[in-house]
Structure 1
Amino acid sequence: MALSSISILSLLLVLLSASWATPASIEDNFIQCLDDNSEHVIPISAVCAQTNSSFTSVLNSTAQNLRYLEPSVPKPQFIFTPLNESDVQAAVICAKKLGIHLRFRSGGHDYEGLSYASEIETPFIMLDLARLRSTNVDIDDNTAWVQAGATIGEVYYRISEKSKTLGFPAGLCSSLGIGGHITGGAYGSMMRKYGLGADNVLDARIVDVNGKILDRAAMGEDHFWAIRGGGGASFGIILAWKIKLVPVPETVTVFTVPKTLEQGASKILYRWQQVADKLDEDLFIRVIIQVTKAGQKGERTVTTAYNALFLGDADRLLQVMNQSFPELGLTRKDCIETSWIKSVLYIAGYPSETPPEALLQGKSLFKNYFKAKSDFVQQPIPETALEGLWKRLLQEDSPLMIWNPYGGMMANISESAIAFPHRKGTLFKIQYVTSWYEGSQDATTKHMDWIRGLYDYMAAYVPTSPRAAYVNYRDLDLGINDKTNTSLSQARVWGTKYFKGNFDRLVKVKSKVDPDNFFRHEQSIPPALIEA
């Protein structure tokens, strides 16, 4: 029987009103659920919808990669900024109850924007841990409890407030959110002396898939193993880490010595590859490789800058260098003796007169369009290959490579001690980056094609079974999960690159603690029960 025009009009109005109400109802239902499940009153300002005038500034506040802030990239339906742990519990309970996909961030430095953007999960909401950022240092116990939203710079500063002879071996970029940073491992300039940040974690507080807060004893050793190096957002939401503080001398020494191609950069870098992992473990020398201008005509060249921290004074440093790496030609005037906290500022790239309080600002010095990749090197790259590398770097506008040395404590920790596996046998790690300042598709394609070509060129000089990668330098080129039905064979393609032989154990942990795959993203660990 045909519908009357009035009936059709009524039906259309019902359908239209339902479609108009959908976005608001998700937010309204979530807020009501939060009120029902949190121990505290949720302020209106804690929930920021896309229609709110503050939405863009909140979303952009810690997001580092502008590629994922483009209008075409799906954004969270709304952002919830919890003020306490109970709010985080309630958010998990409510997202699960209402069937809403949840993403969360502590610092926003994830290279592929997985904490604040999604190409495969829409709609979704974001949990921003920026207000959970306290650091409580216990000097008597040489430990600190640090909430997930604190930046690593804040942590360093709070330690230095209490002691001039204690530090923590984690990241070089001071605006990293410590919650996600440690889940991937946490490289730093004291890694050769003390290992990674994740190697120096004693306890943690997380919210599990049921909205319960677990510490190390409650979660069990397998779960605790997985969150240290197994990558962020697969096993729960990190609320806080209990970290072990490490001794540092009152006087440390830093230096940066640049060498251009015209100054014999290839030969010196080849020598660095042979000695960097064998140097005194108090000495960390990374190499920052960029294209610069040189000479009166300002011609482009490649500069290799040897950027170092030595846990000791300049006299002992010069003894070590003269014995082990004289080719660099380090002199006394190159050496800057300083305190450990000021060395943090130096390594992070702050101007020389910057006070340590700048670390409390938590602002990134690096925010643009970029793409990154990584490799782990086990044999020195020949000089002839370096010459080919320089040619490729000179073809790009703003290329960057950072070579981080291994050896020392990194070679003495088992690959299975925590989920982070890249240990003995590695000479150094390479980070490749290209950045640009225009968001057009042509610009993006140009620079993405360049870095992929460079990565292909380097394949001949790195191990390939697997060709390993660092999970904190997320690279979606390695493969991604399907929306909700990723097979283990599909995930193993990228998973073994990040985690090598630890991938299967991570899957077992995931299958136990989150069998329904609530905590998921494009490269999260899948449970074994999900097979395609």
Structure 2
Amino acid sequence: MSQNRAGLHRRRFLIGAAGVGGAAALGLDGTASAADPAAADAVPALATVGAVTVTSADQQYPDLVRALNARYVAKPESVRMVDAPSQVAPIVQEAVKGNKRLTIRSGGHCLEDFVYNSSTQIVLDMSKMNSVYYYSQLNAVAVEAGARLLDVYEKLYSCYGITIPGGICYSVGVGGHVAGGGWGMLVRRNGLVVDHLYAVEVVTVAADGSVKTVIATREATDPNRDLWWAHTGGGGGTFGVVTRYFFRSPDATGTDPKGLLPKPPAEVLFSAVSWAWSDLTQDEFTRLIQNYASWHVTNIGANSPTRFLTSFLLLNHRSNGQIGLVTQVDATAPDARKLLDDYLAYMSAGITTDAGALTQPMGEMSAMPQFAEPRRMPWLQATRFSSTTNPLLNDPTLRAEYKSAYMKATFPKAQADALYKHLTRTDIDNPKINIQLTPYGGRVNALSDTDTACAHRGAAFKMLWSVLWNDPAEDAKYIAWTRESYAETYADTGGVPVPNAVTDGCYVNYPDADLNDPAYNKSAVPWHDLYFKGNYAKLQQVKKKYDPRDFFRHTQSVRLPAA
């Protein structure tokens, strides 16, 4: 059998296979040693390319040493491409033995330089380790860490009619997305992706330098349950190398894969509207953002009938010409069209001009004039559309800076004034400057801050500063705008959104190294408490147990506890 035909056969097998034999090779403690890599595979590898080493002598090297954000390029000794879980542990063992600085890539969307930086010696690239299949030993759906989100959605839905409520962007890899507590268009309807995580397979490094592969589940009796918990919001690249996630909803019954995870809406209503900047006074701008905030604060409840609606308010710089609102509603929910119409009316209250078509690209979204009047379409079609409208994801010159905040209440006047001031500054002319208001609440609110490592269950919505440009000569200008607008918005709390009655910290999957720097974080709240709040001490204990050598580390990885 040729390699291509064999690889195709393997992929077909994995989608529908029961995953026979693999878990039986694991020890009773749920671990496998690096000396027995087959034990970590858990699915017969009928044909793989195998672990491949790429160095600077190879033509493809320049393509494999850069992040999505062109600001981050590394010069590692090698890039190790893997396409099966069993290939990971030997590479980790080699790096430990050689005292080599190893970093991990799944999809390449890390917003900081955690993977690609000057200290990186080996990049472990798992982007080709991307299979999705039913795994009978855990009665769960296995997703390898390099799988891209849209591929996961298409496989799960096409084969089983189910999904995980993960992110929007099609090319995000699940490796870091899940570990940080990923969310997406179904967040209010079905919660966070980690709310459906049953188990995680992690390659770890012990104090003596030995490497093991551990499968940790959410079962109360599992001695490794703390490692599962750490991967439900503790962030990526900090406890070990995730090779696979296993998904099964807590309320799932039976062994048919079709019943193990949520069914997405059969159809959705999709809407995209905008308001012209030229038509908005400062008072109307403030009313618009307060409308969004107050709706989400009011409708935060886990069982709210509004949980079937997800909406994004895109606050572009004035040079864009428009502010956008993109909304999706489960069309099968009770009174779905009324829910959407009522929401759009609520958002327009106090605005003297009517909303029109969204005709300008907005940050990572394309223009969507065809949705000025809501359209009904199958869920997978809508998901493909919203996932792939981003024209920048394939732009090799893309440069960016990001910041985040969780919000628990409406905007104080000082915050609203600061947002308006910086989005209308005339010394900046960049239509790709964008502050996104995105939803939380609904089923996210069904769990407590300690049930998983995600510590922001009480937030109503969150914010993402997304500043994009192409010319390296403009780095300083746009980084400065991002820092200045963020610092002034949260000036009353030291330049960052500290956990209090209004704000609730930051999202670990939008990492921001400035939070470590007292020049930018002038609050008394350290970076790790902005991300993890009261869960940080427990995360440190997990770090001590599974990575006592601090082998897996980056600028914002969980630190070992003080001796």
Task: Report the 3-state secondary structure (helix = DSSP H, G, I; strand = E; otherwise coil) of the residue aligned with 1:215.
Answer: strand
- Report the equivalent of 1:469: 506
The reply to whether residue 184 of structure 1 matches residue 180 of structure 2 is yes
Contact 2:433 2:466 in 1 (8 A): yes
Of Structure 1 and Structure 2, the greater helix share is in: 1
Q: Which residue of 2 aligns with 1:9?
A: none
For residue 407 of structure 1, what is the aligned residue in structure 2? Answer: 441
The AA in structure 2 aligned to 1:102 is: L
Name the counterpart of 1:289: 315
1:53 match: secondary structure: coil
Q: Which amino acid aligns with 1:132?
A: M
Q: Which residue in the other structure is 2:229 paired with?
A: 225
**Per-residue CA distance 1:99-137 (angstroms, 9 max, x = gap):** 11111110110001312x224x35x21100012100115
Q: Is the contact between residue 137 and residue 158 of structure 1 (CA under 8 Å) also seen in structure 2?
A: no
Task: State the alpha-carbon separation in 1 of the partners of residues 231 and 475 from structure 2.
Answer: 33
Match of 1:214, SS state, is strand
Residue type matched to 2:56 in 1?
Q
- 2:275 counterpart SS class: strand
Kept in 1, the 8 Å contact 2:309–2:340? The answer is no
> What one-letter code is carried by the residue in structure 2 that aligns with 1:253?
L
SS of match in other structure, 2:555: coil
TM-fit CA distance, 1:198: 1.3
Contact 2:48 2:84 in 1 (8 A): no
2:169 to 162, 170, 173: 173
| One-letter amino acid matched to 2:159 | K
1:15-73 Cα shifts (integer Å, max 9, x gaps): xxxxxxxxxxxxxxxxxxxx99866999798111123222101224xx2111112xxxx
Letter in 2 for 1:240: R
Name the structure 2 match of 1:156.
153
Partner of 1:49: 55
Question: Is the 8 Å Cα contact of residues 286 and 307 (structure 1) preserved in structure 2?
Answer: yes
TM-aligned CA distance change 1:85 to 1:199, over 3 Å: same
Say which SS state the counterpart of residue 89 (structure 1) adopts: helix
Report the Cα distance in structure 2 between the residues aligned to 1:57 and 1:268, rounded to whole angstroms.
43
TM-score by length of 2: 0.74
> Residues 347-386 of structure 1: matches in 2 within 5 Å?
347-350=386-389, 364=394, 368-382=398-412, 385-386=415-416
Corresponding residue to 2:480 among 449, 452, 458: 449
SS in structure 1 of the partner of residue 157 of structure 2: helix
Judged with a 3 Å threshold, the aligned counterparts in structure 2 of structure 1 residues 509 and 492 are, in CA distance, closer, same or farther, namely farther
1: CA distance between counterparts of 2:59 and 2:50? Answer: 14
Q: Normalised by the size of structure 1, how large is the TM-score?
A: 0.78
Equivalence for 1:394: 424
Residue 117 of structure 2 corresponds to 118
Which residue number corresponds to residue 22 of structure 2?
A: none
Partner residue, 1:242: 246
Per the TM alignment, residue 387 of structure 1 is displaced from its structure 2 partner at its CA by 4.7
Query: Matches of 1:200 and 1:388 in 2, distance apart?
Result: 38
Aligned counterpart for 2:515 among listed residues 478, 492, 516: 478
CA deviations 1:362-381 (Å, max 9, x no partner) are 96579611110001112212
Aligned residue in 2 for 1:135: 132
Post-superposition Cα deviations, 1:150-203, rounded to whole Å, max 9, x if no partner, equal 101100111121244x22201011100011110101010111111111111111
Indicate the residue corresponding to 1:311 in structure 2: 330
* Residue identity in the other structure for 2:292: W
Q: Is the 8 A contact 2:166 2:184 kept in 1?
A: yes
Please tell me the residue identity of whatever aligns with 1:184: G
- With 464-473 and 412-421 compared, the bigger mean Cα shift is at 464-473
Distance in 2 (CA, whole Å) between partners of 1:320 and 1:49 is 55
CA distance in 2, matches of 1:43, 1:384: 57
Separation of aligned partners in 2, 1:153 and 1:348: 7
Helix, strand or coil: the match of 1:447? helix
Tell me the equivalent position of 1:256: 272
**Which secondary structure does the structure 1 equivalent of 2:311 belong to?**
strand
User: Which stretches in structure 1 are left out of the alignment for 5+ residues?
Assistant: 1-34, 293-299, 355-361, 482-490
* Separation of aligned partners in 2, 1:80 and 1:169: 30
Are the aligned partners of 2:202 and 2:242 in contact in 1 as well (CA < 8 Å)? yes
Structure 1 residue 339 and structure 2 residue 336: aligned?
no
Q: Is the CA contact 2:144–2:244 (under 8 Å) kept in the aligned structure 1?
A: yes
Which 5+ residue runs of structure 2 have no aligned equivalent? 1-33, 39-44, 249-260, 300-305, 349-354, 357-370, 519-523
Q: Secondary structure at the match of 1:400?
A: strand
CA deviation after TM superposition for structure 1 residue 338, in Å: 0.9
The match for 1:271 is: 291
> In the alignment, is the contact (CA less than 8 A) between 1:302 and 1:394 conserved in 2?
no
1:66 is the counterpart of 2:46: no
Give the CA deviation at 1:315: 8.8
Distance 2:394 2:451 in 1: 32
- Contact 2:229–2:452 (CA under 8 A) maintained in structure 1: yes
In structure 1, the partner of 2:97 is 97
The CA deviation at 1:305 is: 1.3
- The letter of the residue matching 2:216 is R
Per the alignment, residue 201 of structure 1 pairs with 197
Partners of 1:260 and 1:301 within 8 A in 2? no
**Number of aligned residue pairs:** 458
Q: Considering only aligned residues, what root-mean-square deviation do their CA atoms show, in Å?
A: 3.3
Partner SS, residue 91 of structure 1: helix
Question: For residue 274 of structure 2, what is the amino acid of its counterpart?
Answer: P
1:346 alignment partner AA: F
Matches within 5 A, 1:501-520: 501-520=534-553
Amino acid at match of 1:235: F
**Hey, what's the Cα distance between the residues in 1 that align with 2:49 and 2:169?**
32
Measure, in 1, the Cα distance between the counterparts of 2:223 and 2:54: 32
Deviation of 1:516 after TM superposition, in Å, equals 1.2
Q: Is the 8 A contact 1:64 1:367 kept in 2?
A: no
Q: Deviations over 1:456-497 (max 9, x none)?
A: 11104775247611111111111179xxxxxxxxx9821111
Q: Aligned equivalents of 1:526 and 1:492: distance in 2?
A: 16
How far the C-alpha of 1:265 sits from its partner, in A, is 4.3
Once the two structures are TM-superposed, the CA of residue 301 in structure 1 deviates from its matched residue by 5.8
Offset of 1:313 from its aligned partner?
5.0
C-alpha contact 1:507 1:526 (8 A) present in aligned 2: yes
CA contact (8 A) 1:480 1:522 kept: no
* 3-state SS of paired residue (1:403): strand
Partners of 1:252 and 1:309 within 8 A in 2: yes
Q: After superposition, what is the alpha-carbon deviation per residue over 1:213-257, rounded to whole angstroms, capped at 9, x for unaligned?
A: 211257611111001110001111111111232122322111111
> In structure 2, what is the Cα distance between the partners aligned to 1:271 and 1:242?
39
Alpha-carbon distance in 2 for matches of 1:259, 1:366: 31
Matched to 2:234, the amino acid is G
Instruction: State how far apart, in whole Å, the 2-side matches of 1:412 and 1:363 are.
Output: 33
> Identity rate of aligned residues, in percent?
25
Max Rg structure: 1
